[in-house]
Structure 1
Amino acid sequence: MDIRGKVVLVTGANRGLGKAFVSALLAAGAAKVYAGARDAGSVDIPGSTPIALDITDPASVQRAAEQCGDVSVLINNAGVLKYGSLLAEDSVDNLQQHFEVNTLGTLRMSRAFAPILARQGGGALINILSVLSWLSPPGSGGYSSSKSAQWGLTNGLRGELRGQNTLVIGVHPAYIDTDMVADVQAPKSTPAEVVAVTLQALSEDRQEALVSDTAHGVKVSLSTASPVYLTL
C-alpha cells in the first residue's frame, strides 16, 4: 500500500513512537493524520489533526470513529508498561491495567474502525506489538502477557478482516529509545527505525514486521529446541 494520499489515525500520538509515526506519515505524503491522545491539547505536531481519544473508554472510541470516518489506515500504537512481579500483591491490578490498554484497547479500536476501513476498500490495520509477545523477562510479566494476547488478537483479526481486504500487520520491536524504557540498559531501536520498518512492511503488503536483530533472533528461536523464553 502506498501511504501517499491516505488518511491515517495513530493512537498514543502525543509522544514517543506515536509522535514519530505522525511526523513520518505527514512527511511521506499522507493526506491527513489524526493524532489521538487522551488530551488532544498535548499534541504539538505541525500539520497533524489532534483528536481526544482514550482507548480504554468505549464512548471515547465511538466518538473518534464518528469524527474520523475517512480513515484508511489505523495504527494501534497506544500502550502501557508497568514493571512488577507476577507474584506481587498488586499483580492482578497490574495485569488488568495492561490488558485494559494494550489488549482490550486494541480490540475496541479495531471493532470501531473495521467498518470504516471496509468503506475505504479495506485499508490497513497496524498493531504495534513487541518482542515481548514471545518472551517474558522477570518483572515484565503483566506487559508480556498483554502483548502475547495482543499478538493473538492481531492474528485473529487478520483472519476475520481478510474478507473485506484489510491488511493486518503485527509489528514486533524490541526495546525502543523512548521514555517508557529510559531506565533499561540494553540495545534500543530509535522511534524512526521502528517507523521506517513498519512503513516498509505496509508498502510491501507484508503481514509482520520484525524491527531489530533481537526480534529476528527471538522469533527464530521459537522453532528450536531451546526457545529464548525457556532460558530467561
Structure 2
Amino acid sequence: MQIKGKVVLVTGANRGLGKQFVKSLLEAGASKVYAAARDPKSVDIPGAQAIRLDVTNAKDIAEAAAAYGDVQVVINNAGVSTRSPLTDPASTQDVRDVMEINLFGVLGVTQAFAPALKRNGGGALVNVLSVLSWASLPNGGAYHISKAAAWAATNALRIELREQGTLVVAAHPGLIDTDMTAKIDAPKSTPEDVVRLVLDAVARDHEEVLIDDTGRAIKQSLSTDKPAYIAGVTV
C-alpha cells in the first residue's frame, strides 16, 4: 500500500527512529501524521500532529483510539532497552519493565486501533522489532526476550488481522545510529535508511523487512547448525 494520502500513527515519535518516521511519512505525502509520545510537548516536527500516548497506559491508549479513529497505518515504534545479566536476580524487574513497552505496548496499541484499521479499509500495521528477535547480545537478555516475544506476537497478529485486510509488517533492524546506541562502537544504519526500507516494504506489501547485512546473516543462520541464538551476537 502507498503512504501518500494516508493517515498514520507513530508511537515513540519524539526522538530517534520515531522522529525520522514522522519526517519521512510527511515527505512521502501522508495526509496526516499523529506523532505520539508520553509528553506531546516533546514533539517538535513541522506538519505533524503531536498527541499524548504512553503505550504502557491503558487509559491513554483508549483515549487515543477514540479520538483518532481515522488512522489507516499504525507504526509501533516505541521501545526501550536495558543491559543486565539475566543471572542477576535484579534483572527480573528489568525484564518486566522492558516487556511492558516492547511487548504489551505493541499489543495494547494494536488491539485498540485494529477496529479503526478495519473500518478504514484494512490499512497496515508496522512493528519495529530487531535482529535481536533472533539472538542476544551479552547482558542484553531482557531486550532479546522482549523482541522475541514481540516477533511471536507480530506473527500471530498477522494471521488474525489478515481476514480484515490489514498488512502486518515486521521490521528487523540491527544497530541504528540513535541515542539508544550512542555508547556502542560498531557499524550502524542511519534512521533515514531504516525508515526508507520499511516504507518501501509497506509499499510493496512485504510482510518482513531486514535492514542490513547483520540482520540478513542472523536470519540466514537460523537454519544452520550454528544459529545466532546459540552463538550469540557480538559488537
Asked if Structure 1 and Structure 2 have the same fold, meaning a TM-score greater than 0.5 normalized by the shorter chain, the answer is: yes
Distance (whole Å) between structure 2 residues aligned to residue 15 and residue 76 of structure 1: 14
Counterpart residue identity of residue 2, structure 1: Q
Deviation at 1:89, TM superposition (A): 3.1
1:45: which partner in 2? 45
Structure 2 counterparts to residues 187-198 of structure 1, below 5 A? 187-198=187-198
Q: Name the CA distance, whole Å, in 1 between partners of 2:137 and 2:81.
A: 13
Q: Distance in 2 between matches of 1:37 and 1:137?
A: 28
Please show how residues 118-157 of structure 1 align to structure 2 within 5 Å. Answer: 118-157=118-157
- Shift of the alpha carbon at 1:208? 0.2
- The one-character-per-residue Cα deviations of 1:90-149 (angstroms, maximum 9, x if unpaired) are 111000001100000000000000000000110000000000000012110000000000
Query: Aligned AA for 1:155?
Result: N
In 2, Cα distance between the equivalents of 1:163 and 1:182? 41
More displaced 10-residue stretch of structure 1: 32-41 or 180-189? 180-189
Query: In 1, Cα distance between the equivalents of 2:91 and 2:226?
Result: 28
Aligned to 1:54: 54
Q: Helix, strand or coil: the match of 1:164?
A: coil
C-alpha separation between the residues in 1 aligned to 2:228 and 2:136? 9
The runs of at least 4 aligned residues of structure 1 exceeding 4 Å deviation read none
Query: Could you tell me the TM-score, scaled by structure 2's length?
Result: 0.98
Aligned to 2:74: 74
* Alpha-carbon shift at residue 6 of structure 1 (Å): 0.1
Q: Indicate the residue corresponding to 1:23 in structure 2.
A: 23
Aligned to 1:109: 109
Deviation at 1:186, TM superposition (A): 1.2
Q: Deviations over 1:174-194 (max 9, x none)?
A: 000000011011110000011
Indicate the residue corresponding to 1:96 in structure 2: 96
1:29-83: CA deviations, max 9, x gaps?
A: 0000000000000000000000000000000000110111000000000001011
1:171 aligns with 171
Distance 1:142 1:63 in 2: 30
Equivalent position of 2:11 in the other structure? 11
Q: Indicate the residue corresponding to 2:87 in structure 1.
A: 87
Task: Write the letter of the residue equivalent to 1:95.
Answer: V
Indicate the SS of the match to 2:109: helix
> What is residue 2 of structure 1 aligned with on the other side?
2
The amino acid across from 1:105 in the alignment is G
1:203 alignment counterpart = 203
Q: Can you give the 5+ residue segments of structure 2 that lack an aligned partner in the other structure?
A: none
- TM-score for the superposition, normalised by structure 1: 0.99
CA-based RMSD of the aligned residues comes to: 0.6
AA partner of residue 73 (structure 2): V
Secondary structure at 2:125 match in 1? strand
- 2:231 maps to which residue? 231
Return the offset for 1:225. Answer: 1.1
Query: What CA distance in whole angstroms lies between the structure 1 residues aligned with 2:150 and 2:25?
Result: 24
Output the amino acid matched with 1:4.
K
User: In 2, Cα distance between the equivalents of 1:173 and 1:106?
Assistant: 17
Contiguous gaps of at least 5 residues in structure 1? none
CA offset at residue 87 of structure 1?
1.3
